[in-house]
Amino acid sequence: MDGMVATANLCWVHAYFSKSLASLTSDMVKHLGNENPGLAANLTFVNKVTLEGLRIPNAEGAVVQRYAASLWPYKLVAFILEQLLAKCSEKGSFNLQTNTPVTRLKKVDTSNDLVAAAAMATWIVETPRGKIAAGSVLLATNGYTSHLLPQFRDLIVPTRGQVVALPPRDLKGDETPLDIRNTYYFFGDASDKAVGRDDYLVQRPAPGSELVLGGGRERGRNAGVGVWDDSELDEPVSRWLGGELSTVLDLDMRPANDYRYFSAEEEKKAKSPDPVATYAWTGIMGFSRDAHPWVGSVPPSLGGGYGLWVCAGYTGNGMPNAALCAKAVVNMMLMTDDVDLPPEYMLTETRVESALARDTVAVAAEKGVLALPYLA
């Protein structure tokens, strides 16, 4: 990975624009300090004075996490696939088939499919290019899981998210681009609704220095819930993402640790406008009924059986969850003892029953509480 990774000192700033959410989060940080002091040592809940220096003067409070990272997932996945192809393809231990969507899963009928039975296959994977008989199949299908297993329709729901790229403003002379120095999450709003805002922000490294802002789903149709098509944009969301950043983040070029106070008139004159988006795109997330990923063996009640596994339903939090969930499910498939997974993530019949007793993802979206299970 030499030469592929850039390092910088970043903090993760989770800003709350609702008094009730800020108060709840402050209590949770205190509780975490009592339950897990080591983990809590990486978090700090900050008040109004510090918020100015973090470029979020209008927030009610924020959690600052000492360590943060920014990742380009496609580049990482492409790198891993290239390494696997280079090292394993000749041995026959790795075979990558692109542009080959799976259209159907079928459990092997050993009485009728003698070839598959002889190969000890338990599942048939159907594609437009042919069929594959396999002893084990892992569905890493996230928001599209119910396409192959309809029984997951009420457990993992496709939900469309949208992102824009905002370029730095035109520079004069020897000016350098704005450096926000942190990654951000903006949650709640001044009306004290549970979730009036659910947006996130990262910045690409120099010289590009683009701000990448995602969110605004609540401004779109059904908050993006149930939408599986990522080939189009939701215009109300585009307008929101293109005009709201300056209301939550100080985009002034002054240093982030400059605590000078300005009069209202001076602040108005100095306020930097929102940059105009140069790119916008969408992606499909998999929102879980109980807000946790589903990892493990798929039981017959969900259309599965021996040899069928799933690792999906990250509810927009795949970046910090997917890698170790994948490691855990592979260890389950290999029947090793090295399975390290939060019990809330395990797929069990009891959990399915409990999840189905909760509000549907669509109802939770209407209430504005899609993200609140993480805070409860």
Q: Which domains does the chain have, with CATH numbers?
A: 11-65+165-276 (3.30.9), 96-156+286-374 (3.50.50.60)
At 202 the three-state DSSP class reads: strand
CB 197 within 8 A of CB 248: yes
- For residue 184, what pLDDT is reported? 94
Indicate whether 268 pLDDT > 60: no
For residue 221, the model assigns a pLDDT of: 87
pLDDT in tens, 221-259: 888 999 999 999 999 999 999 988 988 999 886 554 454
What confidence tens digit (pLDDT) does each residue in 316-334 have? 999 889 999 999 999 999 9
pLDDT of amino acid 262: 42
pLDDT at 4: 64
**Can you tell me the mean pLDDT for 266-273?**
53
Average pLDDT over residues 160-172: 87
pLDDT at 44 > cutoff 90? yes
Residue 287 corresponds to which tokens in the numbers above?
């929102």
pLDDT in the model for residue 10: 79
Take residue 301 and report the two structure tokens written for it.
Answer: 């009640």
| For the chain, percent of residues with pLDDT exceeding 90 | 58
Quote the CA–CA distance of 51 and 57 in Å, as a whole number. Answer: 5
Q: Given a cut of 60, is residue 274 above it in pLDDT?
A: yes
Per-residue pLDDT tens for 284-304? 999 999 999 999 999 999 999
> What distance lies between CA 145 and its chain's CA centroid?
16
Q: What is the CA radius of gyration of the chain?
A: 23
Place of tokens 């390290």: 340
The DSSP bridge partners found for residue 156 are 288
CA distances from 64 to 61, 152, 270 (A): 10, 36, 26
Residue 330, burial from CB neighbour count under 10 angstroms (0-12, 13-18, 19+): middle
pLDDT of 345 strictly over 80: yes
Model confidence at 369, pLDDT cuts 50, 70, 90, reads low
Let me know how long the chain is.
376
The answer on pLDDT for 118 being more than 90 is no
Q: How confident is the model at residue 207 (pLDDT cuts 50, 70, 90)?
A: confident
Q: How confident is residue 41, by pLDDT bands cut at 50, 70 and 90?
A: very high
Lowest mean pLDDT among 166-180, 318-332, 361-375: 361-375
Residue 193 has pLDDT above 80, yes or no: no
Q: 103: exposed, middle or buried (C-beta count within 10 Å: 0-12, 13-18, 19+)?
A: exposed
Average pLDDT, the chain: 86
